[in-house]
Structure 1
Amino acid sequence: MTGSPVGAGRAEVDAALVLLARLGVRPEDLVGAGGGRAVVPTFAEYVPVVAAAVGAGTRRVYGSYWNRVVEQWGARRLDEPSPSEIARLAETLRARRVVRANARGGQSTSEHLIAALRCVYRHAVADGLIGEGDNPARKVPKPRRAPSTRGAVGAERLAEINQVAATTGDDPALDTLLLRLHTETACRRGGALALRPCDLDATQCLVLLREKGEISRWQPVSPTLMRHLLRHAEERGAPRTGQLLRYRSGRPITTRRYDYLWKRIGQHLPWVAAQGVSTHWLRHTTLTWVERTYGYAVAHAYAGHTDRRGGGETGATITYVRASHEEVAAALVGLVAESHPLAPLPGVAPGPSPGETNAGNSC
């Protein structure tokens, strides 16, 4: 008669671990195996779940890449593609990309595809659909990012851009306001499009910018720009908690307005079209000038950068030399040569703020 089974000894356990290692199976993979194991969904099933869980900015950046993944692998389960297949898909999309005048070899296409898949797999790990070690996207390195061709625009060139915007097109008032807003604040397009009337602190001439990474910051603006923003909101019927920047019809603008604006400017200024100058060049222009004139700490704050990706001496140093609103305002005063409530020009008393005649614009 056979006796009752007893627990395995040390030798048997070691032998089992060796066998599992040869099979590429981890002990934790066996936990919960069987009927209780989660069913791994297909890309067509799971990508919409991830898209609904992320913010609008992430959806905008990764959406087109998720669509390509679903087109190629919609019926496949998340645990089926290998790292080499992901690398091959990234290369395929890079080869099929639309080549623009300012293209840099398609590295950004591969980078965004890998990042989009990493986002999907991060959610799958968090949902318990796959193990952390089963994430194939983590094993695919992103391509080295090519140096940016963007740069600061010289004062004379910037004047040419503003002149064309002010004298051509179907809404020069809107276009010059956009250029002034981006030049003064160095904000990104998303920050400008997210601006609301209730984000204007007219008393202190500050605007609340909400940009990528769900980061918000109060940015000083000149009294002149504040007056134009308030007037624009009033004349174009912007709701207090709705988008501020609008067409004459009252309809909110989108990124298409920027596309139209720079295409038009490029038609009048060949160098703009040749170099692919865009709104982000204004950010480079302002931040370069601020850094050269007022130092790295002020430029760091002016840009709205954070230290989340920090590390090394730069990230540690900026913790101790963080610039204040007053210092950023002082840089703005130097940029626009106009007194500001937080940083008056030397020898010039600050005039009445736009808020004294436009009350009630706080959230």
Structure 2
Amino acid sequence: MKDDDLEAARLLLTRLGIHPQQLLKTPTTAAVPTIGDYIDRVSHAVPVGTRRVYDTYWRRIAEAWGDRRIDELTPMDIKQFAEQVKLQVVVRRNSRGGRSAAEHLIAALRCLYRHAVADGLISENHNPATRVAKPRRLATTRRALPDRALTEINEVAGTTGSDPELDLLLLRLHTETACRRGGALQLRATHLDTEQCLIRLYEKGETVRWQPVSPTLMRHLVAHGEERGLRGEHLLRYRNGQPLTARRYDHLWQRLGKHLPWVATQQISTHWLRHTTLTWVERNFGYAVARAYAGHNGKSDAGTTSTYVRADLHEVAEALAALTGEAHPLSR
């Protein structure tokens, strides 16, 4: 190197405030955690709903790769593991070849590595989870149930089982509101607006919405809460006062399947009621109202047009009034 170049380098270092000795030091980097350690950290940083969905898959990932560093996995590792998960899944009558398990596994890894990128442990270009495609989703087999089928389901639910009143209340709640199981299970007495006949639903994706219900359903919800519930606690409860769990739904549909063979054959579940109600609303009140009725408000739920054609709560109330045959306080 020429003297002029050395002098120029010294001048540049002086202006930057850097001493030549600093260039000889090896930069320190944060220790890269193992996958097992990082899963534990991430699981405490995500919402409860996310942790509940991914916990099973994070445990399987930790069992397989817990001792490996977070930056050591490759897309091929993930792809091979996803195929193993598909093969090992428990085969049920409604099984779809383990696609859902593989999809959730990859989603769990993507969640993990999004945090790793944010923490600077790896770069986005070296994120192995984003370079593995999720299995293509097959078209759902769920569809809207005809009126005759709904009538049969309610008749059997109301005449069998240990608590037909509770089962009928659940069926009406889901038929009127098209809510998901999680929304019903989180319903509390403080979530009831009795004056305007609205209930506040907390559903997946941490969404919160007010949903109209008929005056009749509101009266039944209030009476149920006064008889079995506690102020501020979970509204839906067994006769012994214990909060309802998802197992009640499983037992309900198993019992219905024993009395109605077509329920068991087609694997009818609570989510079919959501399909039934939203299909009816869409056919009679249009897509915008059905979308609002379902509580869909994310960008992924529809195209750009949905930004301009949103339905309001009053339109949802009008659809409900037509569905139930009861006037609603918010319907025009």
Report the secondary structure of 1:208's partner residue: strand
User: What is the CA distance between 1:221 and its match in structure 2?
Assistant: 0.2
Counterpart residue number, 1:279: 270
Q: Give the alignment's TM-score, normalised by structure 1.
A: 0.84
Q: How does 1:82-101 map to 2 (within 5 A)?
A: 82-101=74-93
Do structure 1's residue 235 and structure 2's residue 223 form an aligned pair? no
Which runs of structure 2 are paired with 1:317-332 in the superposition (5 Å)? 317-332=305-320
2:170 is equivalent to residue 178 of structure 1: yes
How do residues 241-252 of structure 1 correspond to structure 2 at under 5 angstroms? Answer: 241-252=232-243
Q: Match for 1:288: what amino acid?
A: T
| Deviation, structure 1 residue 338 | 1.1
* Deviation at residue 39 of structure 1 after TM alignment: 1.1
1:320 Cα offset (Å): 2.0
Identity rate, percent: 61
Choose the corresponding residue for 2:39, options 13, 36, 47.
47
- Contact 1:38–1:128 (8 Å) recurs in 2: no
Distance across 1 between alignment mates of 2:197 and 2:267: 32
Contact (CA 8 Å) 1:97, 1:106: kept in 2 or not? yes
Structure 2: gaps spanning 5 or more residues: 10-24
Q: Measured at CA, do residues 51 and 325 of structure 1 come closer, stay the same or move farther in structure 2, by a change above 3 Å?
A: same
SS in 2 for 1:101: coil
Residues 1:7 and 1:231: Cα distance change in structure 2 (over 3 Å): farther
- The alignment covers a number of residue pairs equal to 317
Structure-2 separation of matches of 1:67 and 1:138: 20
Q: Where in structure 2 are the equivalents of 1:1-363 lying within 5 Å?
A: 6=6, 34=26, 36-236=28-228, 238-309=229-300, 314-343=302-331
Q: Which amino acid in 2 is paired with 1:204?
A: Q
CA distance in 2: counterparts of 1:115 and 1:54, whole angstroms: 14
Whether contact under 8 Å (1:186, 1:286) holds in the other structure is yes
Contact 1:152 1:285 in 2 (8 A): yes
Structure ranking higher in helix proportion:
2
Deviations 1:151-207 (A, max 9, x none): 111110011111111111111111111111000000001111111111100001001
Cα offset for 1:129? 1.6
User: For structure 1, which runs of at least 5 residues remain unmatched after alignment?
Assistant: 10-32, 345-363
Distance in 2 (alpha carbons) for counterparts of 1:8 and 1:151: 75
Matches of 1:6 and 1:74, distance apart in 2: 50
Q: Measure, in 2, the Cα distance between the counterparts of 1:85 and 1:125.
A: 19
The alpha-carbon distance between structure 1 residues 7 and 118, as it changes in their structure 2 partners (threshold 3 A), is farther
Distance in structure 2 (CA, Å) of the matches to 1:254 and 1:34: 56
String of CA shifts for 1:8-62, please: whole Å, max 9, x gaps.
99xxxxxxxxxxxxxxxxxxxxxxx955211111111111111111112111211
SS state of the match for residue 121, structure 2? coil
The alignment's C-alpha RMSD in Å is 2.0
Shift of 1:2: 9.4
Amino acid at match of 2:232: T
What is the identity, as a one-letter code, of the residue corresponding to 1:234? Answer: E
Q: Distance in 1 between matches of 2:172 and 2:201?
A: 15
Instruction: Measure, in 2, the Cα distance between the counterparts of 1:121 and 1:171.
Output: 46
Aligned partner of 2:37: which letter? Answer: E
Distance 2:230 2:6 in 1: 75
Amino acid at match of 1:75: D
